[in-house]
């Protein structure tokens, strides 16, 4: 079973530019999450999709961040316009929620390291 994949692995952009990150969850996982780790801080939740619907976007920093999950498969996270403080590692995770389970364990992708200069 293929794991969570993310693209690109690294991105360096200038302040004010736009960047789009992509995440492909594990096949069959309806739940998709975005997290971010900025330097020196803990990993922070950004948002949660169930299929194509946003279940929880309480962690999104501001309206420069836009996440989509068309068709309930892969997801994109767009930052427009990027600011210096957006630099960090963006992780995607996925989980499968089925009856009889209670853990809903999340599996993480390799992350995208974003550097805004």
Least spacing, CB of residue 26 vs another protein, in Å: 12
Residue 117 burial (CB count, 10 A): 10
Stretch that binds another protein, among 17-25, 42-50, 61-69, 74-82 (CB under 8 A): 42-50
What span, in angstroms and rounded, lies between the C-alpha atoms of 27 and 103? 18
Report the residue number, 5 or 17, with the smaller CB distance to another protein.
5
Q: Which residue shows structure tokens 């789009």?
A: 20
Report the residue number, 17 or 31, with the smaller CB distance to another protein.
31
7 binds another protein (CB under 8 A): no
Strands 53-56 and 65-68: unpaired
């Amino acid at each position: 079973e293929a794991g969570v994949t993310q693209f690109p692995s690294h991105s360096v952009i200038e302040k004010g530019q736009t960047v789009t990150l992509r995440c492909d969850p594990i096949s069959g996982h309806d739940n998709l999450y975005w997290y971010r780790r900025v330097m020196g801080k803990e990993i922070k939740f950004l948002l949660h999709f169930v299929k194509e619907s946003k279940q929880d976007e309480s962690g999104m920093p501001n309206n420069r961040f836009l996440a989509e999950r068309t068709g309930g498969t892969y997801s994109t996270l767009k930052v427009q316009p990027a600011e210096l403080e957006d630099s960090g590692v963006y992780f995607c995770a996925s989980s499968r929620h089925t009856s009889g389970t209670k853990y809903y364990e999340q599996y993480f992708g390799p992350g995208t390291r974003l550097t805004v200069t």
